[in-house]
Amino acid sequence: MSGRLPPQIRITYCTQCQWLLRAGWMAQELLSTFGTELGEVTLVPGTGGIFTIACDDALIWDRKRDGGFPDAARLKQLVRDVAFPDRDLGHSDRKQPA
């Protein structure tokens, strides 16, 4: 990533809904996959049912807009598509049968 800052992930979760563990698990999944390629993964407490994930300035998941929560494979694909478009995710990239 010459000349470019490493991607920053921001996971905003609802404290009223007690989604901290879910947010933490998703952060762990991203750090396990991308490691030091990421600049940071930040957990941001919020209210009102919010659960959003942004990669740099791109909103890649919104619970209300996208209907629930992404599974780990989908989340990794979304981050990869924004931050590392040429990267192969191995088994997470295998296409599901139609």
Residue 31: give its domain's CATH number.
3.40.30.10
CB 13 within 8 A of CB 44: yes
Would 50 be classed as within a structural domain?
Answer: yes
Binned at pLDDT 50, 70 and 90, residue 76 comes out as very high
Asked if residue 95 is part of any domain, the answer here is no
- Cα 40–34–19 angle (5° rounding)? 60
pLDDT of 10 strictly over 90: yes
What is the domain extent for residue 61? Answer: 8-84
Rounded Cα distance, 70 and 68, in Å: 7
Is residue 92 one of the residues assigned to a domain?
A: no
Name the domain count of the chain.
1
Residue at 94 is within a domain: no
Instruction: State the pLDDT confidence band at 92, using cuts at 50, 70 and 90.
Output: low
pLDDT at 66 over 90: yes
* Cα 96 to Cα 70: distance, rounded to the nearest angstrom: 16
Question: What pLDDT sits at residue 60?
Answer: 98
Q: What is the pTM assigned to this prediction?
A: 0.88
pLDDT number for residue 1: 45
Query: If you average pLDDT over residues 29-37, what whole number do you get?
Result: 96
Asked if residue 13 belongs to a domain, the reply is: yes
